[in-house]
Amino acid sequence: MADVDNTFTSSKLNNISQCHSSFGKNNQLAKPKLDRWKDLNNAIIDWMNNDAIEETSIKIAEQNNFQFYDKIQKAILSDLFTRFRTIYPKRDVEFNHDFPIKEINKEINGEEYALTTYFTYEFIDQGSSEFIKLKTAFDPEPELIDKAIISKLKAENEDFYTASIEREDLEEIELVDNPDEIIDQHFAILENFLNNRQARNPGELCSRGCDMASRCGQFPLINIDKLTNRIREVKISKTNTIKLQNCERRAAWNVQYGIPREDYIEYESESSGTKFHNYSQEMLVNNNSFTNDDDIERFNKITENEESITREKLFSKYKELIEKLKPYSNLSITKSEFNLGFTIVADGKGLKNGEVVDKKVASVFMGRADLVGRVDGTPIIIELKTRPELSEDFLEAQLYALGASKLLNVKEITILHIYLPDEDSSIKERKFSESELAEAEKKYESLAIKSASWIPFDALSPAYNIGDWCEFCEFKNTCLENR
């Protein structure tokens, strides 16, 4: 059996397949949905193991595990708990809640390694077992490697399910026809990680699944030399930074507390703005001929599968974009969707033994710049907007300028916003030198003080601020009910 340090789950494998620097030791990064999942799991265990009448066992389980949360999160947890009991009523069977596993082992470099899939529960009845994965996410589908391990190791007396709380359904986990091939592919990912460790590879993972954003170097430390595991952390995207400037509660409910949005939508198709960004990035990155007429016409080739009206509109905007870029004769664009940001530590609040205490808090501010490159040797960040200019764009410019200056160790950055609405296109150039960068740092230090003040598990601790943004807030009704 592999040592615990040599055991890799599907989530670990998924992360290192995207970026080797995502692998590291645990820290105090805010993970509100995982925290609630843990306490939901504990409540389910207490309820299952309590022989009292149903009403009493439910009440005790909730009191034991939900008591430290604010009323909003208590209600969320109670709802999730109710849904689970509907999906899987209590039965008089043997109950294993010690995270039963299935794993495949392989020797690599003389050491034993394991690919592991965990289950939350195993219910054993008359020699048959039901293995359950507890899932509270909108998409509860197990990873491919999980399915492969299950398919490879499934015994005749075993069944495997996902308890999908959002869907209120117990879903049988599908088996795959080629488990050995899938397992070999994932061991190859692991071997590559072990034998060919790569430099960081910033991408979508930075803002979503990576716990190492404050430590990998992509988001440099601004006002501290080193982070320790005693420092609480929170990741704040560009979008949530803008929300933080307007209303602390709105930003905090997204990043510190993970309150469910009231407007959750699964988009089935790209917007025209997203398409324009994607096609423009494909055309411009590592292309020094983008101003040539023949190259401009190439845009029509890569958009040939679009509807004619959409295609014409996209091409018109692209030609406007090229006209705006022509004055920058020595422009070289090298990357798109490039992660920029930084980490700032401020005095804030934390919890110790259930009590609020003073604590250092690191806020990792991050965004993804549309295009990055250089003009005459000076770094330039280009943002494409298919809307008119907004005041919040300056905060975005400060984020990218300060992040790029620290990452590249330079004192001068150019930020270019190109506005391409249906009418009146325009361009806004901002040059950041030492004084502007110092102003940006001061601005973000003030924002970090706000995010550091949020008390874990208490979603009502951040202040709210009523304004025009309330009309479009993803928590509009929940906020109104809790003022």
**Structure confidence by residue, pLDDT tens digits, 377-387:** 999 999 999 99
Instruction: Please answer whether residues 299 and 276 qualify as being in contact, where contact means their C-beta atoms are separated by less than 8 angstroms.
Output: no
- Residue 193 maps to a domain: no
For residue 228, pLDDT over 60 is answered with yes
| Confidence at residue 266, expressed as pLDDT on a 0 to 100 scale | 56
With respect to residue 312, please indicate whether it lies within any of the assigned structural domains.
Answer: yes
| 392 part of a folded domain | yes
- ∠ CA 389-395-398, nearest 5°, is 115
Residues 362, 231 share a domain: yes
Determine what percent of the chain is predicted with pLDDT higher than 90. Answer: 93
Quick check: is 27 in a domain? Answer: yes
Shared domain for 139 and 213, answered yes or no, is no
Domain with 446, as residue range(s), is 204-483
Q: What is the pLDDT of residue 25?
A: 87
Claim to verify: residue 450 and residue 407 sit in the same structural domain: yes
pLDDT attached to residue 445: 98
Type and span of the H or E element at 233: strand 232-237
Query: If 0-12 CB within 10 Å is exposed, 13-18 middle and 19+ buried, where does residue 406 land?
Result: buried
When the pLDDT of each residue in the chain is averaged and rounded to a whole number, the result is 95
Residue 131, in any domain of the structure = yes
Residues 249, 168 share a domain = no
Instruction: Note the pTM of the prediction, 2 decimals.
Output: 0.94
| Same domain as 213, residue 244 | yes
**Do 324 and 465 fall into the same domain?**
yes
Cβ-contact 445, 344 below 8 angstroms: yes
Domain count, the chain: 2
The per-residue pLDDT for range 140-181, each reduced to its tens digit, is 889 999 999 999 999 999 999 999 999 999 999 999 999 999
Q: In terms of domains, do 132 and 212 share one?
A: no
Q: C-alpha distances in angstroms, 218 versus 207, 214, 399, 407, 470?
A: 12, 8, 13, 7, 33
User: Is there a domain that residue 196 lies in?
Assistant: no
Verify that 173 and 261 share a domain, yes or no: no
pLDDT in tens, 259-281: 999 976 655 557 889 999 999 99
